[in-house]
């Protein structure tokens, strides 16, 4: 079904419904399951920016491994382990509320089935605004539509395609980080920032721009509205233990996530925008 000149809704049995975008600037793909950007390939260099696991479930049975999972209204494990990690909207069916081709690219707004869920007591409206142009710009917008303030966390949990994790450098990240693999110790960001083992770090008060420098190309990432930058690679053992990762999958991916992990209080009628721009 054609939603606009550049956007087609692809529906096939037992596979998640996806929006296929083909405009003057790029090809892209967005799953309605999870409101989940799966692919962004600019036409000027024809290089796919995002990584998807070869074993990712694409039938709606579990969160997609790769692309840009939307973590909301919490990040990581919930205090009460009965609730799913990374919140509940990434496993919901989303729908399109706006779709328009503009001179700067294609604008698509999606919303989840519901923003209400066990484990979160706020009354919120959430939407994801995706602009596919020469760059990919993603906004996760949270509005407090209730009568009292609430606190939330969130992340655009982006999986980036790289050539070899052991040859990658992450530039533009400095300062202190919380090491989730070292009992939450606060450590200093290394320079150069390279990878040789499982890495799971929450960088605090990060700058807006960083760059993944792969062997023969670089991907630029701009974050806005964030209080953290999460950097994750599962490495060998963790990959081997994940049903939706191949054993060597970790070698060609790196997660750099624009996130709110320190608790953002949203006042009544206040709106917050967490954004990531990929070039």
- Beta partners for residue 40, in sequence order: 28
The one catalytic residue in 36, 157, 203, 226 is 157
- Comparing every residue's Cβ against ligand TA6, the nearest one is 232
Question: Minimum CB separation from ligand TA6 for residue 204, in Å?
Answer: 15
- In the complex with ligand TA6, the residue whose CB is nearer, 99 or 275, is 275
The angle at the Cα of 195, spanning 193 to 198, to the nearest 5 degrees, equals 130
Question: Minimum CB separation from ligand TA6 for residue 265, in Å?
Answer: 22
Residues 263 and 55: their CA atoms lie apart, in Å, by 33
Residues 278 and 49: their CA atoms lie apart, in Å, by 8
- In the complex with ligand TA6, the residue whose CB is nearer, 25 or 250, is 250
257 contributes a contact to ligand TA6 by CB under 6 A: yes
Total residues belonging to the chain: 279
257 tagged catalytic: yes
Q: What part of residues 15-74 is at the interface with ligand TA6 (CB under 6 A)?
A: 63
Residues 229 and 171: their CA atoms lie apart, in Å, by 13
Q: Which of 156, 200, 225, 226 binds ligand TA6 (CB under 6 A)?
A: 200
201 contributes a contact to ligand TA6 by CB under 6 A: no
The one catalytic residue in 36, 86, 257, 272 is 257
* Nearest CA among 71, 99, 96, 82 for reference residue 7: 99
Residues 27 and 39: their CA atoms lie apart, in Å, by 8
157 tagged catalytic: yes
Phi (first) and psi of residue 205, to 5 degrees: 45, 50
The DSSP line for 93-107 is BEEEEEEEEETTEEE
C-alpha separations of 28 from 37, 135, 165, 246 in Å: 8, 11, 24, 24
Binding mask 82-111 for ligand TA6 (x = CB under 6 A): ---xx-------------------------
Phi (first) and psi of residue 249, to 5 degrees: -60, -35
119 contributes a contact to ligand TA6 by CB under 6 A: no
227 contributes a contact to ligand TA6 by CB under 6 A: no
232 contributes a contact to ligand TA6 by CB under 6 A: yes
- In the complex with ligand TA6, the residue whose CB is nearer, 78 or 86, is 86
In the chain, the largest separation of any two C-alpha atoms, in whole Å, equals 52
Q: Which of 48, 62, 76, 119 binds ligand TA6 (CB under 6 A)?
A: 76
Q: Which residues bind ligand TA6 (CB under 6 A)?
A: 63, 76, 85-86, 157, 180, 200, 230, 232, 255, 257
Task: Show which residues are catalytic.
Answer: 157, 257
């Amino acid at each position: 079904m054609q939603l606009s000149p550049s956007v087609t809704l692809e529906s096939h049995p037992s596979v998640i419904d996806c929006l296929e975008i083909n405009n003057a600037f790029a090809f892209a793909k967005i799953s309605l399951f999870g409101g989940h950007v799966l692919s962004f390939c600019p036409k000027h260099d024809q290089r796919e920016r995002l990584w998807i696991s070869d074993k990712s479930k694409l039938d709606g049975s579990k969160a997609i491994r790769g692309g840009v999972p939307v973590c909301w209204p919490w990040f990581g494990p919930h205090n009460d382990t009965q609730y799913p990690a990374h919140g509940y909207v990434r496993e919901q069916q989303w729908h399109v509320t706006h779709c328009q081709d503009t001179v700067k690219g294609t604008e698509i707004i999606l919303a989840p089935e519901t923003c209400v869920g066990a484990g979160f007591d706020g009354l919120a409206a959430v939407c994801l605004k995706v602009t596919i142009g020469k760059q990919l710009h993603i906004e996760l917008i949270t509005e407090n539509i209730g009568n009292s303030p609430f606190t939330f966390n969130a992340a655009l949990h982006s999986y980036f395609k790289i050539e070899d994790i052991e040859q990658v450098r992450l530039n533009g990240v400095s300062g202190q980080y919380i090491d989730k693999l070292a009992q939450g110790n606060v450590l200093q960001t290394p320079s150069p920032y390279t990878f040789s083992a499982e890495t799971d770090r929450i960088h605090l008060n990060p700058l807006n721009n960083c760059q993944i420098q792969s062997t023969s190309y670089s991907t630029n990432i701009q974050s806005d509205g964030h209080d953290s930058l999460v950097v994750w690679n599962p490495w060998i053992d963790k990959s081997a233990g994940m049903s939706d990762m191949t054993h060597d999958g970790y070698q060609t991916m790196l997660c750099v996530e624009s996130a709110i992990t320190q608790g953002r209080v949203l006042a009544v009628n206040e709106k917050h925008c967490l954004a990531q721009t990929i070039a």
